[in-house]
Structure formats: C-alpha cells, structure tokens
Amino acid sequence: MLKRSRLSSTHVLKTLKFPNKTLHSSSNSNGNDSTNCVNQSSSESETDWVELLKPFDIEQLRKSLNRITPLQLQKLLKLPLDVSTSLELFNWANVQKGYCHTFDVYYALIDKIGAEGELKTIDRLLLQMKDEGIVFKETLFVMIMRHYQRAGLPGQATRLLLEMRSVFLCEPSCKSYNTVLDVLVEGGCAKVARNVFDEMLQRGVAPDVFSFAIVMKGLCSVNEVDSACKLLRDMTKHGCVPNAIVYQTLMHALCKFDRIDEGLKLLEEMILMGCTPDVETFNDVIHGLCRAKRIHEAAKLVDRMLLRGFNPNSLTYGALIHGLCQTGQVEEAKAVLSKVPEPNSIMFNMLINGFVTKGQFEEGKLVISDNMYRTGCQPDIHTYNTLIRGLCKTGHLVSARDLIKEMRLKGCEPNAISYTILIDGFCKKQRLDEASEIMHEMTIKGLRLNTVGYNSIIHALCKVQNVPEALNMFHDMCIQGCKPDIYTFNSLIFGMCDVDDMESALKMFQDMVLEGIVPDTVTYNTLIHAFLKRGAIHEAFKLVNDMLFRGCPLDEITYNGLIKALCRDGAVEKAWGLFEEMVEKGVKPSTVSCNLLVNGLCRTGKVQRAFEFLKDMVHLGMIPDIVTYNSLINGLCKMGHIQEALNLFENLQFEGMKPNVITYNTLIFSYCKESMFDDAYLLLNRGVAKGFVPNDVTWYILVSSFVKEVDDL
C-alpha cells in the first residue's frame, strides 16, 4: 500500500497560489528548468489558473483551503502537474475526515503516472484500491495495458490480464483480451498471443473479428500462415464474419511467402463474401505474381482492377514494369509505361535498367529523350548510374567516363556509387592505372571510396598477384573508417594462396574471425584448394573439420576438390566414400563430380566399376559427356582392351556426342603402342574427314612411334 505523506495546508495553498513556480519545484529538483519553460507574467498566469480551476473559487482556496471533494481532486489531477505533486495532493486529500477516493480519482492518477512511465507505482495503487474496497472496472486495466504497450512491456500486460480475475476480481471481457493480443503482436510476441487467444476461448470469452484479425496478423508475421488460414475457417464457428482486413492480412502473407495460388483463391473468396479489396490488396497479389514470373496473369489482374473501377497506383504499375523487365520483356514494359497516367522517374529508371541489362544501351538512353522529358520527368542520379553500369558491363569504359562529365554538365552531380561503378568496370578489365585516376578524382570532389569500391580494387590487384599493393589498399580502407567485409577478406586470402603464401593467408583468416566476420564456403574452399594444390591433404581435411564445426556447409566445389586430390593420390575408395556422403547430405553432384570419380577408377584399373558407376550417373539424372567417355576409353586402352575402347568410340555417335582431340589421341597412342600403325593412320584419316584437326600431341605420337619402330628394325 502507498505510504501516505501529509501535505500541510500552507504548502498546498502556496502550491495553488503560485502555480507557475512552485507546482514543479515542490517535489522536483529540476524546478528551475520547468519554471523557465512555463514562466510568464504574473497577470497572465493568474488568468490561466482561473480558467483551469473552474468551478473552484480560487480566492477562497487561497485563503482557507476548504475541503476538497473527489470530483475536484479528479479535475486537479488532470491538470499539467508533475507526478510528485499529483501524488502529494492525492495523499493529502485522503487524510480529510470522511473523505474516500473514488474510482475516477484513481483512474486519473494512474493514467498520469502511466503516461510519465512510472509504471512500478501503478501496482501499489491497484493494491491500495483493493484495500479500500473500490470496485474495479475493466476500462482501468485496458488503459494500464496500453501504457505497458507504449513502454514496450508486453509481458506486463499479459500478467495484468491474469491478475484481473485472480487478484482484483474483475472479469476480463473480449475488450481486455483484444488489448493484450494487440500489445503482444505489436511487441513481437505472436506465439504468446496465440496462447492467450486459446485461453480466451477456453474460458468462454467470445472473440470478435478484431480478436481473430490481430492473432492472424501475429501468426503471419512469424510465417505460421497455415495456422492463420485455419483460424479463418474457425471464425464462423464463433459467429464472426471475416472482414476485408482479415482477408488482406492473409493475402499479404501468402503473397509475401510466394504462395501466390492460395492468395489468388483467397482473393476470389474475399470478393464472393462481399468484401471489397482495396488497391493495396491487388498490389500484394500483383507483386507476388511478378516475383513468380507470372507476368501475364499479373497484367490480367490489372485489367480486372480497371474493370471493377479501381485506379491502379504507381506501385501497381511499378510492379508490372519491373516484372516485365526482369523477364526480358522490355518492349512490353515500355508499352505498359506509355499507358500509365502519371509516370514517375522510378518507372522510367526500371525501363532503362531493363534495356541496359539486355545489352540494348542505346534504346535505354533513348527513353530519356523520347519519354522522360516529354512527361516532365528528369533523369536523376539513379538514371545515370544505370547507364554507367550498362556501359561498363559492355566494356565501353571511355564512354562511361564521358557520361560522368555529361551528367555533371546537366546539373546532376555524380555520387560515390557513380564512381564506384566506373572503378569496378576498369578493375574488371585490369586497367588499374585508370581506376587509380578515378579514385584521385573522387578525392578532389570530396567523395570517399566505399567498401564496394575498395573491394573491386583489392580483388583486381590480387588477381594479378600484386598482393603487397592490395594490402596497402586494405590498410588505407581501415584508416578511412571503411569496414572490410567477407568479400574483402576472401579476395586477400585468394591472392595470398595464389602466390603460395599460406602462412599469410592463414593469418588473414584468423584476423577475419577476430573482426567478427564469419568465414563462408568461399573462404574455406580457397584455403582447402590451396593446400590440395600443395599436396597437403591432411591440412585440407583439418580445414574441412573446422568448416563443419562452424556450421559452414560443404558444397560441390569443396567435395570436387577433395575427390580429385584423393583420386590423384590413388585413394579412390575414400573418394568414393566422399561422393556418397555428398549425395546423402543433399549436395547434388554435377557431371564434373562424376567425371572425377570415373577418371580415378579408370586410372587405378577399376574400369568395370567405372562402367557400373556410369549407370549410377544416369540414374542420378546426369548426362555423361565426352570427358566421361575419354576416361573410360583411356582406362580400357591402358588395360589393353583396345577393341572395347574402339566399340565405345563407335558408340559415341549414337549418343549424339562428338569425339574431341583427346579421344583420337588416346586411341592413336594405343594403336601405336601395339604397333598397329595401319589402324592408327586409318583412324586419323577418318577423324580428319569428320572435321578432326590433329594437334602437336597427335603428330608427336605418330612421329615418335614411327621413329621407334624404325630404330627397332
């Protein structure tokens, strides 16, 4: 229970007599600040207080401070008094003979305390109310729950709901439950909200449409869309008819999680139920269809909107234009844009990007002169950056640099992204001197290189094995306050591995982890392949273990590197085991993976097993290629089974596969090795007739074999 402090009559009189000074200073050490905020002339303050304290007789209060009634106290508590002063007035009034606080007084005080965030006091006041025998009303608890919501304390609102019945003997109705459900969902406690909803039903409290709507919203926010849809079907059991908000909530979630067919069905149901969808509802479905590349259906839905009297907004048209451009239907997107009543720069930028992505730079540039200017839209920084990116992508770097000058002349100043795109373009072509010039130009303009820009330069330097200069850029990056990311470290580790500086690569790997950057599959694959290249299989497998320990999954590149290294060392059984593990873990092997194992088996004389594995390849859905057959032919030839190898060679044409130079060289070498020169020359002539062009190896095999044969004679 609250500790009741006595407030002297003189103090209260003083408080009421000089409100602009003492109401805030009586219990607040920061009174001077408050005084500065509210202090005005004496006559103005007197007038203000007379207005605020009506129907009180202010002069009488100043002289004698008559008894105060609960109604008067309630009105006083609604004045802009601080919490401490309000509590003093509240406690002083309660010591009057024959006075009792009413529910409304407590309500006013608790509301003020809640608004000020002093929520711990509320529990004490509630217990005091209970001790004084005041009958609780639900409105009080709803108000407190909202204060908990504003304070970000959804758990306290739930606790209060439970105590309403058990402690304060106030039966919560649907209104209280709805308030708590709303507080919980807005506070990110969707699953707790579902539990509260279930308890509501168990206690026989009838939910309304809002109850269902808020729980569905919460479930959708945590991707429990199926549970939310089930609640939709349960609504009628409780006498509730779904409204437009319920349907919109579910459709938004279904489309967000790419369950577009279910969203379309719900849209039809919504219309049949007499609920009118709004433009945002249609937009959700149109966005979903466009993400699923079902552009034709999205366009039909836009037509349907128009037929129903809805006006598609910029988001509707934007989604459709973006979807068309993403699927390469740029001309169709252009046609849609021409029909938009009020096109904006974003739509034009989408169209320009669509043309540029397709390599149609000139068409993209024409959009500016033929369309944008005509509709009153001006090209912005995004427009020019898109064009610069397009020129860099097609290798027109000089034109891209000229465009930087052009945009400046037209009043659009290039930003850091503009220069970064240009730097990246020059770096990809290994034109590092020009990239350095652009960096210098950026510095003059007062622009700083961002992480993407630094990464482009560091990656380019590492590709040409200029690791010292890449490290200088890395240190400059850190000094400039630009935080390195996973791509930065991966580029440096690649560069160090490429020059066989494994010690520095491992140190960089450790620095990366210390910086809080989690190594990814690319990081590990770079290090693993570098060790495998050295023949250090043991170190490579240690990294594999570390990779798994950190929860980083092995991918096909990891497995392929390990299988290749094991087969090279003759450990084909271990390689086979890795291949089986790969399949079991859901990593789909490619033809490359299978070829590595086929080659390993054939090199160790296990040709029959390689043929059996060939059947497994086909069963896994992979199509053997010429590399597969070359390994098998080579394996058969090494075992002296030349006729079988030739039969396999002859079978290639039935498989629709063309032998390459390795196929012919393998068979020619085997014929020569067995002194079957006529067969070798016959095969050569057949190959040439079919378009085979012998290379240096072919002639070396034939000439060296002929010379050897002559020497033996």
Lowest-pLDDT range, 29-38, 55-64, 697-706?
29-38
Per-residue confidence at 35, pLDDT binned at 50, 70, 90?
very low
pLDDT of residue 425: 94
Q: What is the mean pLDDT of residues 510-538?
A: 93
pLDDT of residue 155: 93
Q: Does the pLDDT of residue 454 top 80, yes or no?
A: yes
pLDDT of residue 55: 45
Q: Does residue 157 sit within a domain?
A: no
pLDDT of residue 42: 37
Share of the chain above pLDDT 90, in %: 63
Q: Does the pLDDT of residue 146 top 80, yes or no?
A: yes
At 245, list the tokens.
């908000």
Per-residue confidence at 97, pLDDT binned at 50, 70, 90?
confident
Q: Does residue 501 sit within a domain?
A: no
Q: What is the pLDDT of residues 162-209, one digit of tens each?
A: 999 999 999 999 999 999 999 999 999 999 999 999 999 999 999 999
Q: Does the pLDDT of residue 3 top 70, yes or no?
A: no
What residue type is assigned to position 199 of the chain?
A: E
Q: What is the mean pLDDT of residues 261-289?
A: 91
Q: What is the pLDDT of residues 666-690, one digit of tens each?
A: 999 998 888 888 888 899 998 899 8
Give yes or no for a contact between 260 and 289, defined as CB atoms under 8 angstroms apart: yes
At 366, list the tokens.
């024409």
At 183, list the tokens.
């507080």
Q: What is the mean pLDDT of residues 260-275?
A: 91
Count CB-CB contacts under 10 A for residue 92: 21
* pTM score over 0.95: no
Per-residue confidence at 707, pLDDT binned at 50, 70, 90?
confident
Q: What is the mean pLDDT of residues 497-517?
A: 94
Share of the chain above pLDDT 70, in %: 90
Q: What is the mean pLDDT of residues 423-443?
A: 92
Q: What is the pLDDT of residues 337-375, one digit of tens each?
A: 988 888 999 999 999 999 999 888 889 889 988 888 888
Per-residue confidence at 4, pLDDT binned at 50, 70, 90?
very low
pLDDT of residue 561: 94
Cβ neighbors of 384 (< 8 A, separation 6 or more) are 403, 407, 412, 414, 418
Q: Does the pLDDT of residue 22 top 70, yes or no?
A: no
Q: Does residue 211 sit within a domain?
A: no
**Average per-residue pLDDT in the chain?**
86
Per-residue confidence at 710, pLDDT binned at 50, 70, 90?
low
Q: What is the pLDDT of residues 629-640, one digit of tens each?
A: 999 999 999 998
Alpha-carbon separation of residue 606 from 306, 561, 646 (angstroms): 69, 21, 18
Out of 109, 133, 157, a domain closes at 133
Q: Does the pLDDT of residue 5 top 60, yes or no?
A: no
Q: Does residue 54 sit within a domain?
A: yes
Q: How many domains does the chain have?
A: 2
* Start-end of H helices in 550-695: 556-568, 572-584, 591-603, 607-619, 626-638, 642-651, 661-673, 677-689
Per-residue confidence at 102, pLDDT binned at 50, 70, 90?
very high
Q: Does residue 537 sit within a domain?
A: no
Per-residue confidence at 620, pLDDT binned at 50, 70, 90?
confident
- Check which CATH number belongs to the domain holding 701 and give it: 1.25.40.10
pLDDT of residue 12: 41
Q: Does residue 274 sit within a domain?
A: no
Residue 652, φ and ψ in degrees, nearest 5: -60, -40
Rounded to whole angstroms, how far apart are CA atoms 166 and 199?
15
Q: Does residue 207 sit within a domain?
A: no
pLDDT of residue 499: 94
Q: Does the pLDDT of residue 470 top 70, yes or no?
A: yes
Q: Does the pLDDT of residue 26 top 60, yes or no?
A: no
pLDDT of residue 310: 85
Q: Does the pLDDT of residue 312 top 60, yes or no?
A: yes
Q: What is the mean pLDDT of residues 424-440?
A: 92
pLDDT of residue 410: 87
Out of 133, 156, 189, a domain closes at 133
Residue 153, φ and ψ in degrees, nearest 5: -125, 70
CB neighbour class for 621 (10 Å; exposed up to 12, middle 13-18, buried from 19): exposed
| CA 695 to chain CA mean position, Å | 52
Q: Does residue 42 sit within a domain?
A: yes
pLDDT of residue 623: 86
Rounded to whole angstroms, how far apart are CA atoms 504 and 500?
9
Q: What is the mean pLDDT of residues 591-597?
A: 91
Gap between the terminal Cα atoms of the chain: 120
Per-residue confidence at 432, pLDDT binned at 50, 70, 90?
very high
Q: Does the pLDDT of residue 324 top 90, yes or no?
A: yes
Q: Does the pLDDT of residue 535 top 70, yes or no?
A: yes
What is the domain extent for residue 666? 626-713
Name the residue with higher pLDDT: 565 or 3.
565
pLDDT of residue 542: 94
Out of 80, 114, 133, a domain closes at 133
